[in-house]
Structure 1
Amino acid sequence: MLKQIIGVVLAMTLGAGSAWIAAGFFSPDAVVSDAALPLPQGGDFTLQGVNGAVNLRDFRGKTVVLYFGYTACPDICPTSMATLKAALGQLNAAELQQVQGLFVSVDPERDTLAHIQRYVGYFHHSLIGVSGEQAQLQEITRRYNAFYRKVDVPGSAMAYTIDHSAILYVIDKQGQVREQVQHAVPPAELAAAIRRWL
């Protein structure tokens, strides 16, 4: 009986892990078809930026590219932001005026608002960085079908890392999520997704 219970628990654990991997949550190299991911509920939210409160509604009339990450991320976030930077670089001036990039830090314990803004500024001057309390972040990421969790790293100078999903959400001018783009796609694919909703 004990062996059967252990077997069921192990199967459930492996199944959940496989689902997370399939969604690109744990593998920075995973490339998942956009069609494989159902569009999330999304919706408005208010978080804090270096200059005060930032609400998704503030950007009605613009196409928003939203990303959840953290500034100490060693690989996935820099790749995602570099992809966004290159995609924005493919837009002309008139198109660029209709786009807003938004980086949400899920690591408010370490990421001050000033540091988040400096971080996104390294990639593009127009990007805005925000964060909030953990309860807010968990509620928002749930609505966007995003995932993150703190992982302790004993003996490391960082103390912990954060496993997180790696999706760039393209939100239309009315605030609806329209596309989900994996972080490692060619920038031209992200640029094309943005243009579809200008």
Structure 2
Amino acid sequence: MNTSLLRRREALLSLATLAVAPAWAHGTGHEPLPDAPTAPGDSVYRLDAKLQDQDGRSFALASLQGTPVLASMFYTSCDMVCPMIFESIHANLRSLPAREREAVRVLMVSFDPARDTQAVLKKTAEQHNCDSRWRLARCDEATARKVAAVLGIQYRRLGNGEYNHSSTIDVLDAQGRIVARTGKLGAADPAVAAALHKLPLRAG
């Protein structure tokens, strides 16, 4: 990875460690936020981000440690690029041997929390055939921007309420380090499978 980009991400992670959980994360019915092992300096899990998934469960970004993750961002009202991101992740998962496929988890974070409520995320997960390995998540706008920064994803809101955004999909190792990245849409990227082949996998 480019040294200047790595330094920039580490600086952003340092600035983001005081992120505060959004108010909607403190209601009843949410799982507790577990303590996670300390992540290495170049891990995206250094970001103290609190999220809520499609099932209404609150979780810390760092709780995803322990298994490879495909991570990207989206918004549910997108009718062009975002559906293709879902399709591309499915294609990349299908390209893997069964054991590797079962070990990989998927994180999709919305950058449109005002419209992407938990119920909307739940419906979207069903529409895109996302099983229990997938977490479609929301957070406050400030946290979404920090997540985008550490994942290397760019987006901006347009005047009509839609978004211009990149189609980046990151491959994270078990400690949250970005080991590969793709912007290929509609089909599997061999670079993703190659990166995952090199990682120790833990199914479950």
Output the TM-score relative to the length of structure 1.
0.70
User: Are 2:100 and 1:95 equivalent residues in the alignment?
Assistant: yes
**For the structure 1 residues 138 and 146, does the alpha-carbon distance in structure 2 shift closer, same or farther, using more than 3 Å as the test?**
same
CA distance in 2, matches of 1:192, 1:116: 30
Question: Which runs of structure 2 are paired with 1:106-117 in the superposition (5 Å)?
Answer: 106-117=111-122
Greater strand fraction, Structure 1 or Structure 2: 1
Query: Radius of gyration: which is bigger?
Result: 1
Q: Given that residues 56 and 175 in structure 1 are in contact (C-alpha distance below 8 angstroms), is that contact kept between their aligned partners in structure 2? A: no
Deviates more, 1:107-116 or 1:90-99: 90-99
Question: Which residue is 1:187 aligned to?
Answer: 188
**For the structure 1 residues 197 and 56, does the alpha-carbon distance in structure 2 shift closer, same or farther, using more than 3 Å as the test?**
farther
Question: Which residue is 1:85 aligned to?
Answer: 90
CA distance in 2, matches of 1:79, 1:93: 23
Using the TM superposition, give the Cα deviation of residue 115 of structure 1 relative to its aligned residue in structure 2, in angstroms: 1.6
3-state SS in 2 of match to 1:71? coil
Question: Which residue is 1:132 aligned to?
Answer: 139
CA distance in 2, matches of 1:152, 1:107: 14
Using the TM superposition, give the Cα deviation of residue 148 of structure 1 relative to its aligned residue in structure 2, in angstroms: 1.4
Output one character per residue of 1:106-131: Cα deviation in whole Å (capped at 9) or x when no partner.
Answer: 01111112221331342431211001
3-state SS in 2 of match to 1:103? strand
Question: Which residue is 1:53 aligned to?
Answer: 58
Q: Given that residues 151 and 163 in structure 1 are in contact (C-alpha distance below 8 angstroms), is that contact kept between their aligned partners in structure 2? A: yes
Question: Which residue is 1:105 aligned to?
Answer: 110
User: Are 2:144 and 1:143 equivalent residues in the alignment?
Assistant: no
CA distance in 2, matches of 1:196, 1:55: 26
**For the structure 1 residues 196 and 182, does the alpha-carbon distance in structure 2 shift closer, same or farther, using more than 3 Å as the test?**
farther
Question: Which runs of structure 2 are paired with 1:159-174 in the superposition (5 Å)?
Answer: 160-174=161-175
Deviates more, 1:87-96 or 1:105-114: 87-96
Q: Given that residues 76 and 183 in structure 1 are in contact (C-alpha distance below 8 angstroms), is that contact kept between their aligned partners in structure 2? A: no
CA distance in 1, matches of 2:119, 2:96: 27
Structure 1: tracts of 5 or more residues without a match:
1-33, 154-159
Using the TM superposition, give the Cα deviation of residue 64 of structure 1 relative to its aligned residue in structure 2, in angstroms: 0.5
CA distance in 1, matches of 2:198, 2:70: 13
Output the TM-score relative to the length of structure 2.
0.68
3-state SS in 2 of match to 1:48? strand
Measured on the aligned residues, the alpha-carbon RMSD in Å equals: 2.3
3-state SS in 1 of match to 2:137? strand
**For the structure 1 residues 59 and 143, does the alpha-carbon distance in structure 2 shift closer, same or farther, using more than 3 Å as the test?**
closer
Question: Which residue is 1:69 aligned to?
Answer: 74
Using the TM superposition, give the Cα deviation of residue 188 of structure 1 relative to its aligned residue in structure 2, in angstroms: 4.4
Using the TM superposition, give the Cα deviation of residue 93 of structure 1 relative to its aligned residue in structure 2, in angstroms: 3.0
Give percent identity, aligned residues only: 24
Q: Given that residues 82 and 123 in structure 1 are in contact (C-alpha distance below 8 angstroms), is that contact kept between their aligned partners in structure 2? A: no
Structure 2: tracts of 5 or more residues without a match:
11-42
Q: Given that residues 85 and 123 in structure 1 are in contact (C-alpha distance below 8 angstroms), is that contact kept between their aligned partners in structure 2? A: no
How many residue pairs match? The answer is 158
Output one character per residue of 1:67-97: Cα deviation in whole Å (capped at 9) or x when no partner.
Answer: 0111111211111110111111222332123
